[in-house]
Structures are given as structure tokens and as C-alpha cells.
């Protein structure tokens, strides 16, 4: 696309498609506002940009000038950021159109998008099920065909898990590959902006645009933006490790079948596949659910009614202002995280929990280095232990909800890039396979993902 009339048509078509899937509650932006903004963006977008006219939806915890940024929370209802996140600014500079803000679990805390103050998002193929989370709105919009790609964010799997459950591609880049400037902080040492796309190519194109150095984020690496690899003819020369800890005895039989088929296809493509071990995997969920809440409790201290968003009434003094604002403004899952985080950081328990979790984090990261040092290029695992679960099924059982992140949190803990690619269906519900790569070697990971995507019958029952 290269002329403004095409960009305008693309903007209008995107708005129409988003209206058509309104029942999913995936997009939080009011439709009138969305239409107006898309038209305005299309008329000013730069025709020479590599994403010219491409509608890209953005998770509601990524700041944009055009729309409010509520993070799925009441505490930021109506909040308008005075600046664009670097990722959003880069999208616009490349000619893309920001196609509204997507529903998510409050501040990214959750795995089902049920923890949103604005109602749950429905799974696009089965309204009784969840789309995964926390980037469930982005995943549902892409899976429903409303946009070719959307930004999400990852602290422990929030791009890959919903991608897996909705049958789309989800990429979590290496920590430091994409600027976090303007991504509302959850667990700063784990957070990365990621991309959901209807294909590896769509997701990778968007990732390439948003990647690269940013003086506004000191944790963003001083590197050029990601160069996209070609689609490989074969995977000859690739060594792919299959970590046995990700295939426990009690793994869902259909998930195992889908993975076995994907592994067979990787072999047929020429890759050497070998079993490997990541011995500290069993501690990953516990480690994550100490570190992430600890960082969250500190990051969320800023929401006090004095600085951002609405102020809740009935506050006669400053302590009461904090109490009522935070008590009314945060939902139950966020309050739980703040409590857990404050507890594990408190002086009496710091050594017992937080320090131990940091030590375990180092061991988990070392597990990956050991495997990669022995000549393994990439790892293959399931993305999620099951297909999309029923709404309400895990809502009152936080541990069951947390366990749906069991295969994804490790890449965040170790800072590694990972991608989920659809590898089959189980009774019509999609399931994803995950490739975990080495730090800053997204190009190799994408090559393997391209090949797998082409070979695997993703729409077939496993
Ligand atoms: N589901 C995980 C959590 O609730 C991961 C969330 C995320 O990646 N943002 O913390």
C-alpha cells in the first residue's frame, strides 16, 4: 500500500471488523472515537513507512496519545498519557495505524483476561471460554481477523499463552530488545512488550519495527532493530532441544500428541532433535510468583489518588485518600499481588522468600545457558498445559490460574526470546508450540518458527 486512499480504506475496514466482533469485548476504545482516530491517523501516516496503513491494536497498558490507557483497571479509568510509548511511536513512524486499546487483566496480572475492571474478553471460537491473558484482548482481535497484529506485554507469558489459546502467533522478545518506555510497569525485570500476529511474518514485521535502542529506557540494549530472516528451505544444521521437564507424565494427552507431531516435522525439516534437561524448571512458577509480585508491589505504589487517574471520594486526610483510592481502585488480584509482594519483601521474610527466589532465578537462567553451551540452538516445548479453559473455572483458585503459566514464565525469568506458533487443535480449540531461543538470537528463532508454521497442519486435530 502506498497512497493515502488505500490507508484510509484500510482504516475504515479495520474499524468495521472491530465493530463486527464487539461481542468479544476485546477492544476497550469506544467505536466512534476509534473510527475518528483511525481516519485521522490514515490521513497523516507516512506513506513510505514499512507498515504503512497496517492497523495494529495495542494493549491497554501501553501508553498512546490517541486513546486512554487504563491497564484494565478502575484506578486508571479515563487516564490519558501525555506521551506515546516508544513502541507506539515507532509503529506510527513506520506508518502503522493504532487500532484501539485492547482489554487485559488488570495491570497484566492474570492468565484469562477475567481480571479486567471492564469485563472479561470472550474466546473468539467459544464464548464460554477464556482467550487467555493477560493480553487476551489483543489475541482475540487477531484471532477473529479484526487486525493482522497487535501489541501485548509479557511478564510471565501474557503474549504467548493467549496466542496459544487463540491459535495465533505470539512473540516475546529478549529482555532489552524492545524499549519498555511507556509500558506501564508490572515486574520491571521481567516485562517486555511483545507482538501477536496472525502469522509469524506479521508478528515479526511488527517486532522488527518496535525493536532497537531507546535512550529513554536504560534497560533497552544499544542495538539496531531486529533484521528479519528469510524463510528457510530447511532446518538443516539446527539443533533443537526438547526439555524433558516440559513433558511431565500427566501432560494432557492431546497436547502431547500435537507436540510429538511438531517435533516429527522439525526433524523432517532437517533439524537434529535431542532430549535435554532443565533441572530447576519445577521451581519456576514459585520463583516467578515471588519476584513478580515483589516488583509489582513497588511499581504500583505510585497509584495513590494524587498523581494518576481518578481520586476516590471520602478521603478526609492523606492516609484515607490512599486507602480509599487503592482499596476501591484496585481489583482483588492486584490487591493479592500487592499483599504478597509486600510480605516477601518485608524485613522478616526477605531472606526466606525474596532472596531465595533471586537465587533460584540465577539457577534457572544457568540451566538454559548450560543447554545452549552444549550446542543446542533452540528449545521446543508446549506453550500451555491445556487448550482454552472455561470462564470462571480458575477464577477463584489463584494457584490453578498461576499454573497455566508453567511453560512460559521461564523465558521471562531468564530474559530469553520465545515464540508460540499454532500446532494443532483439540476438539476445535487451538494449541500452541513454543520455541525458546538464545538471548538476542530472535532471527534464528524466527527461522525455525517460519519453517514450523509452514509444515504444521495447525487447523487439524492433534
Ligand atoms: N499470568 C502471569 C501473571 O499473572 C503473567 C502475566 C504477564 O505476563 N503479564 O502474572
Q: Whose CA is nearest to atom 5 of ligand 1?
A: 156
For residue range 21-40, list pLDDT tens digits in order: 999 999 999 999 999 999 99
**Does a structural domain hold residue 243?**
yes
Between CA 445 and CA 436 the distance in angstroms is 7
CA–centroid distance, 157 to ligand 1, in Å, is: 6
Q: Which residues form ligand 1's pocket by a CB distance below 6 Å?
A: 108-111, 134, 153-158, 186, 292, 405
Same-domain status, 321 and 381? no
What's the total number of domains in the chain?
A: 2
Domain assignment of residue 96, yes or no: yes
CA distances from 361 to 5, 52, 72, 80, 356 (A): 51, 41, 29, 36, 9
In a domain, 254, yes or no: yes
Same domain flag for 143 and 19: yes
179 Cα: distance to centroid of ligand 1 (angstroms): 19
Rounded distance, CA 175 to CA 62, Å?
17
**Residue in 72, 73, 158 to alter for ligand 1 test, most ligand atoms within 8 A of Cβ:** 158
Q: Could you say which of 300, 330, 352 is where a domain stops?
A: 352
Spatial CA neighbour of 300 closest among 61, 57, 58, 29: 61
Q: Does a structural domain hold residue 90?
A: yes
Of 332, 352, 372, the one marking the end of a domain is 352
Looking at the fold, whether 221 and 332 belong to one and the same domain comes out as no
Asked, for residue 208, whether it belongs to a domain, the answer is yes
Q: Which ligand 1 atom sits nearest the alpha carbon of residue 289?
A: 10
Q: Name the domain boundary from 323, 352, 381.
A: 352
Which atom in ligand 1 lies closest to the alpha carbon of residue 133? 1
CA 124 from centroid of its chain's CA atoms: 17
Q: How far does residue 409's CA lie from ligand 1's centre (Å)?
A: 8
Q: What's the burial of 77, exposed, middle or buried (CB within 10 Å: 0-12/13-18/19+)?
A: middle
Same domain, 313 and 183: no
Per-residue pLDDT of the chain (462 residues; tens, 9 = 90+): 778 899 999 999 999 999 999 999 999 999 999 999 999 999 999 899 999 999 999 999 999 999 999 999 999 999 999 999 999 999 999 999 999 999 999 999 999 999 999 999 999 999 999 999 999 999 999 999 999 999 999 999 999 999 999 999 999 999 999 999 999 999 999 999 999 999 999 999 999 999 999 999 999 999 999 999 999 999 999 999 999 999 999 999 999 999 999 999 999 999 999 999 999 999 999 999 999 999 999 999 999 988 888 877 666 788 888 888 999 999 999 999 999 999 999 998 999 999 999 999 999 999 999 999 999 999 999 999 999 999 999 999 998 899 999 999 999 999 999 999 999 999 999 999 999 999 999 999 999 999 999 999 999 999
236 and 381 in a single domain? The answer is yes
**What's the rounded Cα separation, in Å, for the pair 310 and 316?**
16
Residue 358: inside a domain: no
pLDDT tens for residues 368-407?
Answer: 999 999 999 999 999 999 999 999 999 999 988 999 999 9
Domain enclosing residue 310, as ranges = 285-352
Residues assigned a catalytic role: 59, 134, 158
Does residue 111 form part of some domain? yes
Which ligand 1 atom minimizes the distance to the CA of 292?
A: 10
Do 311 and 328 form a contact (C-beta atoms < 8 A)?
no
Residue 209 alpha carbon to ligand 1 centre in Å: 24
Determine the atom of ligand 1 nearest the C-alpha atom of 412. Answer: 8
79 Cβ contact partners less than 8 Å away, ≥ 6 residues apart? 68, 69, 70, 308, 309
What is the reported pLDDT for 314?
63
Identify whether residues 189 and 254 lie together within a single domain: yes
Same domain, 372 and 316: no
Is residue 241 located within the same domain as residue 299? no
Do residue 342 and residue 256 come from a single domain? no
CA of 154 to the centre of ligand 1 (A): 7
- Do residue 159 and residue 237 come from a single domain? yes
CATH number of the domain enclosing 117? 3.90.1300.10
Rounded Cα distance between 114 and 99, Å, is 22
C-alpha–C-alpha distance, residues 1 and 8, integer Å = 11
119, 204: one domain: yes
Q: Is the dihedral of CA 150, 153, 159, 162 positive or negative?
A: negative
Which of 155, 171, 185 for mutating ligand 1's site (highest number of atoms within 8 Å of CB)? 155
Indicate whether 320 and 409 sit together in one domain.
Answer: no
**Domain assignment present for 292:** yes
Amino acid at each position: 500500500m502506498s497512497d493515502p486512499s488505500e490507508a484510509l480504506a484500510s482504516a475504515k475496514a479495520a474499524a468495521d471488523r472491530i465493530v463486527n466482533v464487539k461481542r468479544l469485548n476485546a477492544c476497550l476504545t469506544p467505536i466512534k472515537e476509534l473510527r475518528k482516530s483511525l481516519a485521522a491517523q490514515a490521513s497523516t501516516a507516512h506513506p513510505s513507512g514499512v507498515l504503512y496503513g497496517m492497523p495494529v491494536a495495542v494493549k491497554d497498558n501501553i501508553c498512546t496519545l490517541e486513546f486512554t490507557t487504563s491497564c484494565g483497571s478502575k484506578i486508571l479509568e479515563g487516564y490519558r498519557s501525555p506521551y506515546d510509548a516508544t513502541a507506539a511511536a515507532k509503529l506510527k513512524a513506520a506508518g502503522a495505524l493504532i487500532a484501539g486499546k485492547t482489554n487485559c487483566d488488570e495491570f497484566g496480572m492474570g492468565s484469562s483476561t477475567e481480571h479486567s475492571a471492564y469485563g472479561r474478553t470472550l474466546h473468539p471460537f467459544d464464548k464460554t471460554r477464556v482467550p487467555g491473558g493477560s493480553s487476551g484482548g489483543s489475541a482475540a482481535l487477531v484471532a477473529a481477523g479484526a487486525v493482522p497484529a497487535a501489541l501485548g506485554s509479557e511478564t510471565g507469558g501474557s503474549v504467548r499463552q493467549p496466542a496459544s489459546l487463540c491459535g495465533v502467533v505470539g512473540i516475546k522478545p529478549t529482555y532489552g530488545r524492545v524499549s519498555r518506555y511507556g509500558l506501564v510497569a508490572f515486574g520491571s525485570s521481567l516485562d517486555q512488550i511483545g507482538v501477536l500476529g496472525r502469522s509469524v511474518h506479521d508478528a515479526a514485521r511488527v517486532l522488527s519495527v518496535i525493536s532497537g535502542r531507546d535512550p529513554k529506557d536504560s534497560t533497552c540494549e544499544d542495538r539496531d532493530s531486529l533484521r528479519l530472516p528469510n524463510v528457510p528451505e530447511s532446518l538443516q544444521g539446527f539443533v533443537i532441544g526438547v526439555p524433558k521437564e516440559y513433558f511431565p507424565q500427566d501432560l494432557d494427552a492431546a497436547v502431547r500428541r500435537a507436540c510429538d507431531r511438531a517435533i516429527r516435522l522439525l526433524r523432517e525439516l532437517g533439524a537434529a532433535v535431542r532430549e535435554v534437561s532443565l533441572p530447576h524448571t519445577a521451581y519456576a512458577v514459585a520463583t516467578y510468583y515471588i519476584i513478580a509480585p515483589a516488583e509489582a508491589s513497588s511499581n504500583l505504589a505510585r497509584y495513590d489518588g494524587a498523581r494518576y487517574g481518578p481520586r476516590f471520594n471520602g478521603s478526609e486526610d492523606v492516609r484515607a485518600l490512599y486507602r480509599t483510592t487503592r482499596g476501591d481502585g484496585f481489583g482483588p488480584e492486584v490487591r493479592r499481588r500487592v499483599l504478597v509482594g509486600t510480605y516477601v519483601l518485608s524485613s522478616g521474610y526477605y531472606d526466606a522468600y525474596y532472596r531465595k527466589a533471586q537465587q533460584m532465578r540465577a539457577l534457572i537462567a544457568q540451566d538454559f545457558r548450560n543447554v545452549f553451551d552444549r550446542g543446542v540452538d533452540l528449545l521446543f516445548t508446549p506453550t500451555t498445559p491445556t487448550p482454552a479453559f472455561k470462564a470462571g473455572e480458575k477464577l477463584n483458585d489463584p494457584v490453578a490460574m498461576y499454573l497455566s503459566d508453567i511453560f512460559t514464565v521461564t523465558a521471562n525469568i531468564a530474559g530469553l526470546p520465545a515464540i508460540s506458533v499454532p500446532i494443532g487443535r483439540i476438539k476445535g480449540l487451538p494449541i500452541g508450540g513454543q520455541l525458546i531461543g538464545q538471548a538476542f538470537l530472535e532471527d534464528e528463532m524466527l527461522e525455525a518458527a517460519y519453517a514450523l508454521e509452514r509444515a504444521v497442519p495447525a487447523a487439524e486435530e492433534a
